[in-house]
Amino acid sequence: MTNSINELIDSDVIFITGSNTTESHPVIGAKIRQAKKKGAKIIVAEPRKIDMVEDADVFLQITPGTNIALYNGIMSCIISEGLEAAEYIKERTENYDALVATVADFTPEVAAEICGIDAEDIKTAARIYAEGAKGAIVYCMGVTQHSSGTEGVMSLANLALLCGNIGIESGGINPLRGQNNVQGACDMGGLPGTYPGYQKVTEPAVKEKFEKAWGVELSDKVGLTLTEIVGKAGHGDIKVLYIMGENPMVSDPDLAHVEEALKNTEFLVVQDIFLTETAQLADVVLPAATFAEKNGTFSNTERRVQMVRKAIEPVGQCKPDWEILMDLLNRLGIEKTYATPEEIFTEISSVTPSYGGITYGRLNELGGLQWPCPTADHAGTKFLHAGKCARGLGLFKPAVFKPSAEVPCADFPLVMTTGRVLYHYHTRTMTGKVDGLNAMCPESFVEINPDAARKLSIVEGDKVKVSTRRGQVVVTAKVTPKLKENVIFMPFHFAVGAANTLTNPVLDPIAKIPEYKSCAAKLEKVAWDWSEETDQIK
């Protein structure tokens, strides 16, 4: 996030897109509603009529995969009505003319046609966003998980720049991170192209710095992304795969392919807290401690590094992940030992400029620090790009709308999209073990519009078969006016009736993110299972 969470409370307008905020980030959802109470205007652009729509001044119910058309339509309206922040654009940005040229074709009318909404609503949204002095964009995977995900994010950045909403308090672009430490995993270099602090592996000076710090020679070749690793594993090119705290057997697209790939991996190590679907395929399983059994830090979605503290001893023979990794590093010839996570953090600070001024002492004293925090006397950074953008001038990167890789056709006439529900978390490794949460949401389902359901003779609770070009699953139907007639929704949490059996593994060419949010699907009512019926009668 360029802003802090609490800055949202003082925003004049909040544009929520591709985020089911009250279910996936409930406390941020609550904060946005507090902002609404204080007078903020809310715009929601989503394929589903999510709870947040109740609070919206404008709701744009777009077809999945048409984000960029919408954002371009909004920008086109802002420019044609002269609502852009002309002064800001002149002083703080570049390449504006290219944006004007690109969005010129995308009048609200053109965009409305593509998105399946009313052009007047686009204009209203554009005016509300442009006229608010402090406009915050809040987005999530509904923007990124498309084959044009990166360009979707760039479009949002264009929109923010267009209205002078980068580098100010309570105005900015705010991706909501879905997992407790996904921010930290990125910050710490859990990415194929960057060392901790986003220092590029291809940069000779950076490589040299880490070679010196770690006392080994390092590769300057950008590594493979998750989806590429799985792909290569499938072809037998990856012989050893080490997976820590992840469950690709539920979370990755096109699961049949993932299973084959993991089975094809000669040696698979899985380190986790439960015997997950992925761990069941492993050659070695290492039992890890949960967050309650160890010390350390997480970095949240607003770049705030906060303490994790040990409340109980690890159960059984479990070990904290850091201990396991240190033991293995030692066995693999990297001699350095750490007595506590704090000693690891000290090493992190010494090689990561943005974490340079963060210490356990300061975190304990202050409760948390937001990076960039380069020095011990730096108070942390509440919002990014103050005064000027990190790169100097804010660069407009106009994006042209491209349809999703898979669009509805005669065989697969519906658009399927996926997401989370309030009561579960990712692949249910944790929430699946909590009775109350399971009671609230016990099984996989598919949401379908009432008119669409009627045409297929489907009623609430029916078993239905959802098929795509990748496969098919049978799940329970939930009939709801949340969706338009041509769209269906499935939660991706479940291993049985798994949405990701169906999702399209096509990737965004830049971020390599799969297109989870839009693929072509077909729905059929499953014939009544008489055997089950007779069982019940008996």
Partner 1 sequence: MSMLNVTVDGQATQVAAGSAILDAANQLGIEIPTLCYLDMEKKFNQQAAACRICVVEVENRRNLAPACATPVMEGMIIKTDTERVHAARKIVVDLMLSDHPLDCLTCEQAGSCVLQDLCYQYGLEQTSFAGQRNDYPEDATNKFYSRNLNKCVACRRCVTVCSNFQNTKAIGFGDRGFNTHPVAPFDRGMDESTCVSCGNCVSVCPTGALLPKSKEKFRSWEISKTETTCSYCGVGCQMNLLTKGNKVVGVEPLNGAANDGLLCVKGKFGFNFINHPDRLTTPLVRKNGQLVEATWDEAYSLIADKVKATKAEFGSEALAGLSSARVTNEENYLFQKMVRAAFGTNSVDHCARL
DSSP 251-280: HSSSHHHHHHHHHH-SEEEEEESS--TTGG
Query: Are residues 371 and 358 in contact, defined by beta-carbon separation less than 8 angstroms?
Result: yes
* Type of residue found at 61: Q
Q: How many residues bind partner 1 (CB under 8 A)?
A: 146
Pairing mode, strands 93-94 and 394-395:
parallel
Q: Which of 344, 386, 395, 474 binds partner 1 (CB under 8 A)?
A: 344
Least distance in angstroms from the C-beta of 345 to partner 1: 6
* Three-point CA angle 27, 30, 31, nearest 5°: 90
Q: Three-state DSSP class for 171?
A: strand
170 touching partner 1, by CB under 8 A: no
Q: Could you tell me which stretch among 93-101, 215-223, 481-489, 528-536 binds partner 1 (CB under 8 A)?
A: 215-223
Q: Are strands 369-370 and 13-17 parallel, antiparallel or unpaired?
A: unpaired
Return the bridge partners of 272, or none.
287
Q: Which of 109, 118, 193, 450 binds partner 1 (CB under 8 A)?
A: 193
Residue 269 sits at φ, ψ, to 5 deg, of -110, 130
**Strands 514-515 vs 504-507: parallel, antiparallel or unpaired:** antiparallel
By beta-carbon proximity to partner 1, the closer residue of 240 and 407 is 240
Strand partners, 298: 306
Residue 205 binds partner 1, judged by CB under 8 A: no
The yes or no reply on residue 353 touching partner 1 (CB under 8 A) is no
Dist CA 285 CA 141 (whole Å) = 30
**Selected binder of partner 1 within 244, 395, 400, 456 (CB under 8 A):** 244
Report the C-alpha gap between 148 and 160 in whole angstroms.
Answer: 19
Under DSSP, is residue 59 helix (H, G, I), strand (E, B) or coil? Answer: strand
H-type alpha helices, 317-403: 321-331, 341-351, 360-366
Would you say 311 or 376 has its CB closer to partner 1? 311
* Smallest gap from residue 245 Cβ to partner 1 (A): 3
Q: Which of 2, 66, 76, 145 binds partner 1 (CB under 8 A)?
A: 145
Residues in region 378-437 near partner 1 by CB under 8 A: 422-423, 425, 429-431, 433-437
Which residues, numbered 33-92, are part of the site for partner 1 (CB under 8 A)? 33-34, 36-37
- Which of the residues 249 through 288 are near partner 1 (CB under 8 A)? 251-252, 266-267, 269, 272-275, 279-280, 282-288
Q: Is residue 177 within the footprint of partner 1 (CB under 8 A)? A: yes
Using CB under 8 A, which residues numbered 356 to 375 contact partner 1? 367-368
- Of 100 and 282, CB closest to partner 1: 282
| Cβ proximity to partner 1, 149 vs 398, nearer residue | 149
Ranges within 303-342 binding partner 1 (CB under 8 A): 304-313, 315-322, 325-329, 331-334, 341
Tokens 């004049």 belong to residue: 12
